């Protein structure tokens, strides 16, 4: 069975829903393929506050944020296939998916929007030394088990890494009666939002040790503790200062990786910094008609930004499917001097304002961020503080762009 | 007390292969295993290499059983539908290693193993990613890889289908002898038997002591490994060894039968028979050694580290009858090349057993196991047909490895049922992918809970530890 849609959205989390709504509202016949049993993605397990301030102008939980978008999807009667796992994205944008309800489904898409989100780095990915017992969880898995399934993974907890989910889970485990004994962060700064350090650790008296890491896990078949040590300049642990702390659960919040496995073999230009595709301002990848948005493109801190980005991708995908997406001469956007990446990586010359998102590679106080085009400064702004855990954005006017753009810090 | 003709102690690759042989005869055969699944210790954590047999000292049991075992593994992996890949191996050496390769070539001749000395150019034809310093290699076309734990599980399944029994979570606590019979004591009951076969792996010497058979001093050598994402598979064609040393065959780079790549093992001597904790030092050693033979190491594509233990008794396998205890047969100290040797060792043990007990061959026993249906290997038409007839074929539980609910349920209902998350993982690979069960773990727990009719908090990862031990809002 070959179905036909103008726009097929892979993934029904916040990015997929916002992209679908935007595509539909631009007149495209739209389909969402979602592998879980409901729309919403990871938001469904985010029962904490902190969502929607920017997008809706009010603070809500992740589940509420998801529900707003779910309603909008259903109001428009946008087609959704649940429990539909996409097996491949083939030549000529034929998407193959498998679901218990529909079996094997092939869909011919006028345009495809990738919105698969990201996955968490695991103990294996960081080659965590020691035993490999029960009791080690990624923070997101522990969050799902706690908030959706109703199980608490431990009562004496250590958290490695200070990504936002880890910080949120430190608070969540505490409110469920667990003792979060320690948070360890390899870097001298957190990779999470400042507000989460304050609200999830400081407010509960949970200690965080920066520039520290785990040297070995002990216990078998269940974890009984970990050894940890400070790290030197080279981020190697100083074993002479190794200490032990007992625990029955270890949560990992050591990074998120865009889940781009579907793109394997398609020859899409990828960024080795974001681990997502390289895109233009329409969020179109190097593969014509294939768009990318949300955490599968680059990991965001705030879902509000995901929704906005996805709307760009959804609208552009609809235009592409109709054949009226303008293309033109492009320029590159590069990052250097303290800026880890800038996105989009390509811009089309023309009119109008465009937002460029960026992340820095360390904590900078009072640094000036500049964008230069052919050696000319086209944007400059001084920031009180810039940190890797907080994505920033600048807006530039395309009218002044006649060559490649460099985004960098000026100190 | 239940009575058996033969009791096999230990459910690793050797014990399960032995049981598989015994099950072809009119024998009451039981295997007792201390863990909650077979293949739970050394068999689950090794290199999975089917060795050609060129490097074993000629005249040793290792040489004999390796050479006999190699073709048997290839044949039986087919019969048992176990993932395998006869990809050949190379021992890669620099200018200084030519004499070492020639030594190996001599051993290969003595052992009757086909090998070829290759120039750098010829080596590159087989393995384009050997390190730049590699100037020659010794190629062994009969080597390759097999999934060691799936092999043991498949032997166990076939043995059960042919009438043998397996008792899990039954560590042997005592072995008594009276009136020409043995009594094997376990927490799950005592069992009488005429013949005892010690296949207890790391605990082999202890079992000998329990029975009052020959005493052996055992040492252990731990090896750590990196497992790489399956995206690395395209870079590795064969098993790449360095020149062997006294510590072993050295740190290899190899494809796995399931489509990943491994780097390892290190060789760290230890006196703890349970020591499978990887260490920073050892993982660092791998980072230094791998580039010596392989020029595309990708430690950033690591999805897992693991560690396994080789059990060493003197310098060779110990295989044969006890000279002290009648009808007590030993197959211990089975380190590398134990996996390759296992089917040949099992044949030997069967003949020794049949010397003790007269038994007829069963008239009809199963050799070819039913195919495992794996979504990854099916055509679109087959997937469509299966998903139409059973919606569980349409429900992908493990996203990384594309494992369906139907496959997981089949594992839970297999002859030796999977009852833990790790047991499911070893059988169908749910949780073996790049997210390491982050997504599918909770789903697999749910399915196990439903199918086994036990509470979620009782579902184990393996070896008795729960993954979801407490309820929220639970008050002491």
Task: Identify whether residues A163 and A246 lie together within a single domain.
Answer: yes
Q: Are the C-beta atoms of residues A126 and A327 closer than 8 Å to each other? A: no
Confidence of residue B186 (pLDDT cuts 50, 70, 90): very high
Task: Identify whether residues A44 and A164 lie together within a single domain.
Answer: no
User: Three-state SS string across chain B, please?
Assistant: CEEEEEEEECCCHHHHHHHHHHCCECCCEEEECCCCCCCCCHHHCCCCEECCCCCCCCCCHHHHHHHHHHHHHHHHHHHHCCCEECCCEEEEECHHHHHHHHHHHHHHHHHCCCCEEEEHHHHHHHCCCECCCCCEEEEECCCEEECHHHHHHHHHHHHHHCCCEEECCCCCCEEEEECCEEEEEECCEEEEEEEEEECCHHHHHHHHHHHCCCCCCCEEEEEEEEEECHHHHHHCCCEEECCCECCECCCEEEECCCCCEEEECCCEEECCCCCCCECHHHHHHHHHHHHHHECCCCHHHEEEEEEEEEEECCCCCEEEECCCCCCEEEEECCCCCHHHHHHHHHHHHHHHHHHHCCCCECCCCCCCCCCCCCHHHCCHHHHHHHHHHCHHHHCEEECCCCEEHHHHHHHHCCCCCCCCHHHHHHHHCCCCCCCCCCCCHHHHHHHHHHHHCCCHHHCEEECCEECCCEECCCCC
pLDDT tens digit string along A90-100? Answer: 988 999 999 99
Confidence of residue B476 (pLDDT cuts 50, 70, 90): low
Task: Identify whether residues A305 and A349 lie together within a single domain.
Answer: no
CA distance B151 to B73: 9
Place of tokens 């033979």: B293
Is residue B459 over pLDDT 80? yes
Across the interface, whether the CB atoms of A129 and B387 are under 8 A apart is answered no
| DSSP symbols for A202-243 | GGGT--EEETEEEEEEE-SSB--EEEEEEB-TTS-B-GGG-E
Task: Identify whether residues A126 and A237 lie together within a single domain.
Answer: yes
pLDDT at res. B314: 87
- Report the pLDDT averaged over residues A175-189: 96
What total number of domains does chain A contain?
3
- Burial class of residue B203 (count of CB atoms within 10 Å of its CB; 0-12, 13-18, 19+): buried
- Report the pLDDT averaged over residues A370-377: 92
pLDDT tens digit string along A208-258? Answer: 999 999 999 999 999 999 999 999 999 999 999 999 999 999 999 999 999
Where do the DSSP E strands lie in A115-166?
Answer: 118-120, 136-138, 151-152, 156-160
CA distance A237 to A32: 46
pLDDT at res. A327: 80
Task: Identify whether residues A181 and A272 lie together within a single domain.
Answer: no
CB proximity B304 to A under 8 Å: yes
The backbone region for A130, taken as left when phi is positive above 0, alpha when psi lies in -120 to 50, beta otherwise, is left
Which residues of B have a catalytic role annotated?
Answer: 51
Across the interface, whether the CB atoms of B302 and A127 are under 8 A apart is answered yes
Q: Are the C-beta atoms of residues B393 and B434 closer than 8 Å to each other? A: no
For the CA atoms of chain A, what is the radius of gyration?
22
Picking from B435, B444, B447 by the largest number of A CB atoms within 10 A of its own CB, the best residue to mutate is: B435
pLDDT at res. A400: 83
Task: Identify whether residues A271 and A248 lie together within a single domain.
Answer: no
Is residue B55 over pLDDT 60? yes
CB proximity B118 to A under 8 Å: no
Whole domain around residue A401: which residue ranges? 329-411
CA distance B428 to B418: 10
At A316, which CATH number?
Answer: 3.50.50.60
pLDDT tens digit string along B292-329? Answer: 999 999 999 999 999 999 999 989 999 999 999 999 99
Task: Identify whether residues A250 and A126 lie together within a single domain.
Answer: yes
Across the interface, whether the CB atoms of B470 and A150 are under 8 A apart is answered no
Chain B: give the shortest CA distance to residue A398, in Å.
38
CA distance A180 to A206: 7
B274 CB neighbours in chain A (<8 A) are 220
Across the interface, whether the CB atoms of B299 and A218 are under 8 A apart is answered no
**Domain final residue pick, A327, A345, A378:** A327
Confidence of residue A355 (pLDDT cuts 50, 70, 90): very high
Task: Identify whether residues A200 and A318 lie together within a single domain.
Answer: no
A407 sits in which H/E element: strand A405-410
CB proximity B465 to A under 8 Å: yes
A250 sits in which H/E element: strand A249-252
Across the interface, whether the CB atoms of B473 and A176 are under 8 A apart is answered yes
**Domain final residue pick, A298, A327, A356:** A327
Task: Identify whether residues A241 and A320 lie together within a single domain.
Answer: no
CA distance A252 to B438: 11
> Which DSSP state fits A134?
B
Instruction: Output the average pLDDT for chain B.
Output: 96
Task: Identify whether residues A320 and A349 lie together within a single domain.
Answer: no
Q: Count the alpha carbons within 13 Å of B430 in the hemisphere toward its beta carbon.
A: 34
pLDDT tens digit string along A52-105? Answer: 999 999 999 999 999 999 999 999 999 999 999 999 999 889 999 999 999 999
Closest chain B residue to A215, measured at CA: B280
**Domain final residue pick, A238, A254, A270:** A254
Contacts with B, A 118-137, CB within 8 Å: 119-120, 122-125, 127-135
Its pTM stands at 0.95
Closest by Cβ to B306, choosing from A102, A132, A237:
A132
Is residue B102 over pLDDT 60? yes
Place of tokens 């940190």: A387
| Distances in whole angstroms, Cα of residue B404 to Cα of each of A298, B80, B211, B389, B431 | 29, 21, 45, 14, 12
Is residue A411 over pLDDT 90? no
Q: Report which of B237, B244, B241, B218 is spatially closest to residue B100, judged by C-alpha positions.
A: B244
What lies within 8 Å, CB to CB, of B190 at 6+ separation is: B1, B183, B184
Q: Report which of A73, A125, A82 is spatially closest to residue A102, judged by C-alpha positions.
A: A82
Task: Identify whether residues A143 and A182 lie together within a single domain.
Answer: yes
Confidence of residue B475 (pLDDT cuts 50, 70, 90): low
Cα A150 to chain centroid, rounded: 25
Report all structural domains of chain B as residue ranges with CATH numbers, in order of start. 2-42+149-217+315-356 (3.50.50.60), 89-141+219-311 (3.30.9.10), 375-466 (1.10.10)
User: Hey, how many other C-beta atoms are within 10 angstroms of the C-beta on B97?
Assistant: 21
Task: Identify whether residues A152 and A85 lie together within a single domain.
Answer: no
B391 CB neighbours in chain A (<8 A) are 100-101
CA distance B288 to B302: 15
Q: Report which of A238, A222, A220 is spatially closest to residue A230, judged by C-alpha positions.
A: A238
At A376, which CATH number?
Answer: 2.60.40
Strands A405-410 and A330-336: parallel
């Amino acid at each position: 069975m070959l179905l036909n849609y103008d726009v097929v959205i892979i993934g029904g989390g916040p990015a997929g829903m916002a992209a679908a709504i935007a595509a539909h509202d631009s007149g495209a016949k739209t389909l969402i393929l979602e592998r879980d049993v409901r729309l919403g993605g990871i938001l469904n397990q985010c029962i904490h506050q902190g969502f929607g301030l920017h997008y809706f102008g009010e603070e809500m939980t992740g589940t509420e944020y998801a529900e707003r978008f779910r309603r909008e999807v259903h109001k428009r009667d946008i087609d959704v296939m649940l429990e539909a796992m996409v097996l491949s994205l083939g030549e000529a944008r034929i998407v193959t998916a498998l679901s218990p309800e529909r079996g094997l489904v092939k869909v011919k898409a006028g345009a495809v929007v990738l919105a698969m989100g990201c996955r968490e780095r695991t103990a294996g990915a960081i080659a965590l030394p020691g035993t490999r017992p029960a009791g080690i969880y990624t923070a997101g898995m522990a969050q799902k088990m706690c908030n959706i399934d109703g199980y608490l993974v431990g009562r004496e907890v250590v958290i490695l890494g200070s990504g936002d989910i880890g910080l949120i889970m430190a608070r969540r485990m505490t409110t469920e009666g667990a003792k979060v004994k320690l948070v360890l962060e390899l870097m001298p700064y957190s990779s999470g939002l400042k507000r989460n350090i304050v609200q999830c650790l400081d407010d509960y008296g949970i200690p965080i040790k920066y520039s520290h890491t785990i040297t070995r896990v002990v216990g078998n078949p269940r974890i009984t503790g970990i050894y940890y040590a400070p790290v030197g300049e080279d981020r190697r642990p100083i074993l002479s200062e190794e200490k032990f702390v007992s625990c029955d659960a270890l949560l990992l919040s050591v990074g998120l990786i865009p889940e781009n496995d579907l793109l394997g073999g398609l020859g899409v230009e990828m960024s080795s910094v974001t681990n997502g595709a390289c895109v233009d301002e329409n969020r179109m990848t190097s593969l014509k008609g294939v768009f990318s948005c949300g955490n599968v493109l680059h990991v965001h801190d705030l879902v509000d930004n995901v929704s906005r980005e996805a709307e760009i991708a959804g609208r552009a995908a609809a235009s592409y499917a109709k054949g009226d997406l303008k293309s033109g001469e492009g320029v590159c956007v590069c990052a250097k001097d303290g800026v880890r990446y800038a996105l989009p990586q390509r811009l089309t010359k023309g009119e109008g304002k465009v937002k460029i998102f960026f992340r820095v590679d360390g904590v900078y106080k009072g640094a000036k961020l500049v964008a230069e085009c052919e050696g000319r400064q086209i944007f400059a702004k001084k920031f009180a503080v810039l940190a890797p855990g907080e994505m920033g954005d600048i807006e530039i006017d395309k009218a002044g762009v006649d060559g490649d753009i460099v985004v960098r810090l000026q100190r | 007390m239940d009575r058996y003709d033969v009791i096999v102690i230990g459910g690793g690759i050797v014990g399960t292969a032995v049981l598989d042989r015994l099950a072809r005869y009119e024998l009451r055969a039981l295997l007792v295993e201390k863990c909650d699944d077979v293949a739970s210790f050394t068999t689950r954590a090794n290199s999975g290499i089917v060795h050609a047999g060129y490097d074993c000292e000629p005249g040793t049991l290792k040489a004999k059983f390796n050479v006999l075992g190699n073709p048997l593994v290839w044949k039986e992996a087919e019969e048992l539908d176990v993932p395998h890949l006869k990809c050949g191996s190379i021992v890669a050496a620099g200018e200084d290693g030519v004499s070492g390769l020639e030594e190996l070539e001599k051993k290969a001749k003595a052992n009757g193993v086909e090998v070829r000395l290759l120039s750098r150019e010829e080596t590159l034809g087989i393995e384009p990613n050997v390190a730049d310093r590699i100037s020659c290699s010794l190629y062994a076309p009969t080597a390759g890889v097999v999934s060691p734990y799936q092999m043991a599980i498949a032997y166990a399944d076939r043995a059960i289908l042919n009438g043998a029994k397996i008792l899990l979570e039954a560590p042997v606590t005592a072995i008594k002898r009276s009136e020409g019979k043995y009594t094997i004591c376990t927490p799950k009951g005592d069992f009488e038997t005429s013949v005892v076969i010690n296949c207890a792996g790391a605990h082999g010497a202890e079992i000998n002591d329990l029975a009052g058979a020959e005493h052996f001093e055992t040492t252990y050598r731990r090896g750590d490994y990196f497992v790489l994402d399956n995206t690395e598979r395209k870079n590795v064609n064969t098993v790449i060894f360095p020149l062997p040393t006294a510590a072993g065959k050295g740190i290899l780079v190899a494809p796995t039968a399931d489509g990943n790549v491994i780097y390892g093992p290190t060789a760290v001597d230890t006196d703890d028979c349970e020591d499978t904790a990887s260490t920073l030092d050892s993982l660092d050693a791998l980072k230094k050694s791998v580039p010596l033979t392989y020029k595309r190491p990708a430690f950033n594509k690591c999805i897992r580290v693991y560690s396994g233990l080789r059990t060493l008794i003197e310098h060779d396998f110990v295989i044969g009858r006890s000279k002290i205890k009648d009808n007590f047969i030993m197959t211990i100290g089975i380190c590398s090349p134990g996996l390759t040797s296992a089917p040949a060792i099992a044949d030997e043990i069967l003949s020794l057993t049949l010397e003790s007990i007269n038994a007829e061959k069963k008239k009809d026993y199963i050799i070819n196991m039913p195919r495992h249906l794996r979504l990854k290997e099916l055509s679109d038409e087959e997937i469509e047909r299966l998903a139409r007839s059973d919606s569980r074929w349409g429900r992908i539980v493990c996203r990384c490895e594309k494992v369906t609910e139907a496959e997981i349920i089949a594992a839970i209902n297999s002859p030796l049922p999977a009852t833990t998350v790790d047991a499911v993982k070893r059988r169908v690979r749910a949780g073996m992918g790049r997210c390491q069960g982050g997504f599918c773990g909770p789903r697999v727990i749910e399915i196990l809970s439903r199918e086994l009719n036990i509470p979620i908090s009782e579902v184990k990862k393996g070896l008795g530890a729960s993954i979801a031990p407490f309820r929220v809002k639970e008050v002491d």
